[in-house]
């Protein structure tokens, strides 16, 4: 029995490895390419009918209706199609989680409460089956985030193609992920901890966070003073080294906070610590929209497709959140479900927000230009502008519509395969019915 089990496990892993190996990363662009005749949705500017999009060496070099082409340019006729910038998932665990129910495939959480030295990009699995499934629906860039503890580690923007994590990393870090503790005492019948125990747990988490920032500042001050006379050498501490870009405001704190008490407390703390902050989740963020606008604090809203938290709330509370933030002038973007297997549905979260009042143009920007701006990668992706990366998709319609197909995809000029486990299964069972004589 044990021997049979071993052979079964080996066979299963062998099949798993063979399926993964089918998706080969694209070759770098080695000649100019021009897409001709499509409708270009630049996102940052106007829509251009019957346009040309030229790119070379992974960069956009021309967008318009009459572009002079360099020698050796490959022409691709896309009349009747649409060109959009590649979609961006602003909050995910892509590459860190394969199967939620299998612990061995989850590499998103480290032990301990303070882990600023954790770098998400290093843990990304380029062989993940979720990557080709996600990019096949137009998502070309994902921000993958660690989880757990008080300070989880740094997030990274990754391109959904590449042989290694180094190939895939667009920018890292883009922010330091932190989790603000619940400020509310849970009196529900299922809560096993007493009110006093809940208060102690909350206060302990806040003390841990304050102490971490205090220690990081002290460490960095000491390290920078080592060149001075009589200042002793201090051993390198990777945890506090990783805090340097947060403390000098090079990157923001990506603060997971949902309820109004959490959000207000986190904003007050960020001011005290003089750090930039981006709210992640932000379920109650519309309730403090004036404060967010005053402080210029962006919100990564996710997910849209969920039910209201409280019995007295309107049924459309989550879906209407982006419209409320937009009406109040708060910067925001929309992310997926913060899982892995369903991140391909990012455009439909934006579509849901549009169906509940968010202008459609804003919905498109919320998964392209806005996340790029919020996360500091707008110089590379998020819109179609000359000089930016040639990271784009060609579709047969509006990407927010579920019936639309992504027909071509380029990441830094590389022509990306749209095959995935889903397409393989489709072809497999189509062949089954063909052999059975089905029409």
Can you tell me the distance from the alpha carbon of 345 to that of 95, in angstroms, rounded to the nearest whole number? 16
User: What is residue 344's predicted lDDT score, i.e. its pLDDT?
Assistant: 92
Q: Kindly tell me if the per-residue pLDDT of 280 is higher than 90.
A: yes
Same domain? For 61 and 204 the reply is no
The proportion of the chain whose per-residue pLDDT surpasses 70, expressed as a percent, equals: 93
Cα 300 from chain centre: 10
- Has residue 18 been placed in a domain? no
Each residue of 361-411: pLDDT tens digit?
A: 999 999 999 999 999 999 999 999 999 999 999 999 999 999 999 999 999
User: What is residue 269's predicted lDDT score, i.e. its pLDDT?
Assistant: 96
Q: Last residue of a domain, which of 348, 363, 381?
A: 381
CB atoms within 10 A of CB 75: 14
Candidates 253, 299, 220, 249; CA nearest to 151 is 253
- Has residue 337 been placed in a domain? yes
Please state, in angstroms and as integers, the Cα–Cα distance from residue 118 to each residue in 148, 173, 254, following that order.
Answer: 11, 10, 14
- Enter the tokens of residue 103: 């612990």
Same domain? For 222 and 169 the reply is yes
User: What is residue 227's predicted lDDT score, i.e. its pLDDT?
Assistant: 67
Confidence of residue 10 (pLDDT cuts 50, 70, 90): very low
Domain count, the chain: 2
What CATH number is attached to the domain comprising 48? 2.30.40.10
- Enter the tokens of residue 202: 């909350």
Confidence of residue 186 (pLDDT cuts 50, 70, 90): confident
Same domain? For 55 and 200 the reply is no
Which helix (H) or strand (E) is 422 found in, with range? helix 421-435
> Does residue 253 contact residue 278 with C-beta atoms inside 8 Å?
yes
Residues 72-76 have a mean pLDDT of 96
Show the domain range for 36.
23-86+382-439
- Has residue 16 been placed in a domain? no
User: What is residue 409's predicted lDDT score, i.e. its pLDDT?
Assistant: 97
The proportion of the chain whose per-residue pLDDT surpasses 90, expressed as a percent, equals: 73
Q: Kindly tell me if the per-residue pLDDT of 99 is higher than 90.
A: no
Q: Kindly tell me if the per-residue pLDDT of 15 is higher than 90.
A: no
Residues 334-353 have a mean pLDDT of 89
Same domain? For 159 and 275 the reply is yes
Same domain? For 377 and 425 the reply is no
Same domain? For 127 and 265 the reply is yes
Mean pLDDT, rounded, of the chain: 90
Same domain? For 226 and 143 the reply is yes
Q: Last residue of a domain, which of 381, 404, 424?
A: 381
Same domain? For 119 and 71 the reply is no
């Amino acid at each position: 029995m044990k021997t049979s089990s071993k052979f079964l496990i080996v066979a299963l892993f062998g099949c798993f490895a063979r399926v993964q190996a089918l998706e080969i990363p694209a070759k770098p662009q080695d000649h100019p390419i021009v897409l001709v005749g499509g409708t270009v949705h630049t996102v940052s500017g106007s829509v251009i009918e019957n346009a040309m999009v030229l790119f070379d060496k992974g960069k956009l070099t021309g967008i318009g209706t009459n572009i002079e082409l360099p020698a050796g340019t490959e022409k691709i006729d896309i009349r009747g199609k649409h060109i959009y910038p590649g979609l961006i998932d602003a909050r995910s665990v892509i590459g860190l989680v394969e199967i939620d129910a299998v612990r061995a495939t989850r590499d998103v959480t480290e032990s301990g409460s303070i882990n600023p030295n954790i770098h998400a990009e290093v843990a990304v699995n380029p062989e993940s089956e979720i990557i080709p499934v996600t990019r096949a629906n137009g998502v070309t860039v994902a921000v993958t985030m660690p989880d757990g503890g008080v300070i989880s580690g740094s997030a990274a923007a990754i391109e959904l193609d590449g042989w290694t994590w180094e190939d895939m990393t667009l920018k890292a870090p883009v922010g330091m992920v932190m989790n603000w503790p619940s400020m509310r005492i849970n009196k529900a019948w299922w809560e096993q901890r007493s009110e006093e125990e809940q208060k102690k747990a909350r206060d302990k988490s806040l003390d841990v966070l304050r102490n971490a920032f205090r220690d990081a500042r002290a460490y960095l001050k000491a390290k920078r003073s080592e060149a001075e006379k009589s200042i002793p050498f201090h051993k390198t501490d990777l945890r506090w080294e990783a805090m340097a870009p947060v403390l000098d405001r090079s990157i923001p704190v990506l603060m997971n906070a949902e309820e109004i008490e959490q959000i207000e407390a986190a904003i007050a703390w960020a001011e005290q610590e003089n750090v930039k902050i981006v709210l992640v989740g932000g379920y109650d963020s519309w309730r403090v929209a004036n404060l967010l606008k005053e402080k210029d604090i962006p919100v990564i809203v996710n997910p849209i497709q969920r039910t209201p938290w409280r019995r007295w709330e309107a049924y459309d509370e989550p879906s209407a959140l982006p419209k409320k933030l937009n009406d109040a002038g708060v910067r925001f973007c929309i992310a997926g479900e913060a899982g892995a297997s369903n991140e391909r549905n990012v455009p439909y979260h934006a579509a849901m927000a549009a169906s509940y009042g968010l202008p459609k143009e804003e919905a498109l920007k919320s998964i392209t230009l806005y996340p790029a701006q919020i996360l500091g990668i707008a110089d590379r992706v998020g819109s179609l502008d000359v000089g930016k990366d040639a990271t784009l998709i060609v579709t047969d319609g509006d990407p927010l519509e579920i019936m639309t197909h992504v027909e071509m995809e380029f990441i830094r000029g590389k022509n990306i395969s749209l095959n995935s486990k889903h397409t393989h299964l489709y072809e497999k069972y189509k062949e089954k019915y063909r052999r059975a004589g089905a029409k």
